[in-house]
Amino acid sequence: MVVEMKNTYFSAQTQEIVHDFSMGFEEGKTTALVGPSGSGKSTVLKLAAGVIVPSAGTVFFRDKDIWRMNREQNLAFRKESAMVFQDSALWANQSLYQIMELPMKLHFPNMGKKERDMRMNELVEQVGYRRQLTLRPAQLSMGEQKLIAFARAMLCNPSVLFLDEWTESLDDASAQRLIDLVQERQSLHNTIIFVSHDFRAIKKLADYIIMIIEGSLSQVFTREQIMEDADLAQHLQKGISL
């Protein structure tokens, strides 16, 4: 397993948001997390990505407890994985150029500016962002922020992707482009965990579909089950449990 969540819980104040969640994510497979708004999908994804600390239970990345890694192991884990946050999470006080430059400087300290710029421009073009990189996030639409967040996530060529509603607030053509880019990552055998309400993305990309209801794993479906059962597909599309 690339990522393994074992009996994880997450509570904030007195509210339990994730309840006894266990799931393994296999190398090279794509898993979609679906469920109603507020059911805990983003929280589960952040736990899997090692962004938030579980209140109880353990999250393993390649058999190592994420929260017990030493500095070197942690850096290697951060380099190998990347996340697109639901709200894009771009630093407000930096230009897009600075935002994208930072992960490359951190993870590839020997890479020259010329190569960094080339890689950045290539990705910006691939995602279809057409404005300047001197702008700051507040000057961008939500959709444009998503494009930059996606480009930033791909800069260090990760092999494990955590994507939270990465096609939300995009026009159809842009959403399709970002779905195609994830499909390219699949052909490179990346391990992908994503949250989406976009049924197109789920149908096209997901090997497994996990339904989360009220912070718990409710059901797991395979792509085949979804493709063969129109009723099930319709229920999933509505985010409703069976």
Ligand X SMILES: Nc1ncnc2c1ncn2[C@@H]1O[C@H](COP(=O)(O)OP(=O)(O)OP(=O)(O)O)[C@@H](O)[C@H]1O
Binding letters toward ligand X, positions 208-237, x by CB under 6 A: ------------------------------
Q: Give the separation between CA 74 and CA 160, rounded to whole angstroms.
A: 14
240 near ligand X, rule: CB under 6 A: no
Residue 38 C-beta: closest distance to ligand X, Å? 4
38 near ligand X, rule: CB under 6 A: yes
Contact (CB, 8 A) for 211 and 48: no
118 near ligand X, rule: CB under 6 A: no
- Taking the least distance from each CB to ligand X, the nearer of 15 and 70 is 15
Residue 199 C-beta: closest distance to Mg ion, Å? 16
CA dihedral 30, 32, 33, 34 (to 10 degrees): -170
- Taking the least distance from each CB to ligand X, the nearer of 135 and 213 is 213
Q: Give the separation between CA 20 and CA 65, rounded to whole angstroms.
A: 17
Cβ-proximal residues to 187 (8 Å cutoff; 6+ apart), any chain: none
174 near ligand X, rule: CB under 6 A: no
Residue 218, number of CB atoms within 10 A of its CB: 15
Q: Give the separation between CA 235 and CA 237, rounded to whole angstroms.
A: 5
12 near ligand X, rule: CB under 6 A: yes
Q: What is the DSSP letter of 190?
A: -
Options 2, 3, 5, 17; binder of ligand X; rule CB under 6 A? 17
How many residues of this chain bind ligand X (CB under 6 A)?
Answer: 12
- The candidate with the shortest Cα–Cα distance to 46, out of 173, 177, 241, 212, is 212
Name the one residue in this structure whose structure tokens are 């992707």. 161
Options 42, 88, 145, 190; binder of Mg ion; rule CB under 5 A? 42
Residue 87 C-beta: closest distance to ligand X, Å? 9
* Binding stretches for Mg ion (CB under 5 A): 42, 86
